[in-house]
Amino acid sequence: EKAVNLKKDLAEMQEWMTQAEEEYLEKDFEYKSPEELENAVEEMKRAKEDVLQKEVRVKILKDNIKMLAAKVPSSGQDLATELNVVLENYQLLCNRIRGKCHTLEEVWSCWIELLQYLDLETTWLNSLEERVQMTENLPEKLDAINDALESLESVLRHPADNRTQIRELGQTLIDGGILDDIISEKLEVFNARYEELSHLAVSRQIALEQQLQTMRETDHMLQVLQENLVELDRQLTSYLTDRVDAFQMPQEAQ
């Protein structure tokens, strides 16, 4: 009777593993929304816990069959063979569910990381847009132009590492068919805004550099002219002091 009960327990265990495999491993999941992906991750975590909890039952079956085999070798031998099959299938099921759970957790982590990088770069784009707007309607003063240029250049020195991460993470998820529509839309919007703002910022940078160069050249010319006027004033003053007749002066002094 004990052998019959153990045989029944082995059959029930095998049936449970077959159902678990069908439910958790043979479904074709399509993750088209973050909610679907998150639910799949949580479901697979529960599946892993459920399968691992059966380890106690498997151990009890193993011990009982060993005890029976020691007492009744003829009955125990057949059960031991069935037990080995169940143990092998159970270990395989555990490994596959662990693997799928790990994969889904990695995918979820990849999605969260993508969102974080997009958030960082969006904050940077907002800052870039603000600096570009600050370069409009500037007063015609050297200091104001120079400060605006330095402020814009400091934002443009932003490293490209985050954008590389966004591209790689997004492509990894899209290639796996995970959240591909949502990610494609997010990347399209982000890339369009990045291209537009970065081109506008570079154009403003070039315009400010040219304006700054022109103002510096003008300032230099005015400074040279001022120095010449001062020297001319000094000469004229000396002529007047010495009562030199105008027709005796050099032509430029006249």
Tens-digit pLDDT string for the chain (254 aa): 677 888 888 899 999 999 998 888 877 667 889 999 999 999 999 999 999 888 888 888 888 888 877 776 766 677 888 888 889 999 999 999 999 999 999 999 999 999 999 999 999 999 999 999 999 888 888 899 999 999 999 999 998 899 999 999 999 999 888 898 999 999 999 999 999 999 999 999 999 999 999 999 998 999 999 999 999 888 888 877 876 665 666 665 55
Measure the CA angle with vertex 90, ends 85 and 95; round to 5°: 130
Q: Is residue 236 part of a domain?
A: no
242, part of any domain = no
In a domain? residue 243 = no
In a domain, 116, yes or no: yes
CA distance to 142, 145, 146, 152, per residue, from 215 (Å): 7, 9, 10, 19
User: What's the domain count of the chain?
Assistant: 1
In a domain, 240, yes or no: no
Please check whether residue 248 lies inside any domain of the structure: no
DSSP letter string, 88-139: HHHHHHHHHHHHHHHHHHHHHHHHHHHHHHHHHHHHHHHHHHHHHHHTTT--
Residue 188, in any domain of the structure? yes
CATH number, residue 116: 1.20.58.60
d(CA 215, CA 142) in angstroms, rounded, equals: 7
What residue numbers bound the domain in which 66 lies? Answer: 1-211
Q: Is the pTM of this model over 0.85?
A: no
Q: Is 226 exposed, middle or buried (0-12, 13-18, 19+ CB in 10 A)?
A: exposed
Q: Is 7 among the domain residues? A: yes
Task: Give the Å distances, CA to CA, from 140 to 130, 131, 196, 216.
Answer: 20, 18, 27, 12
Which residue, chain included where needed, has tokens 């929304």? 33
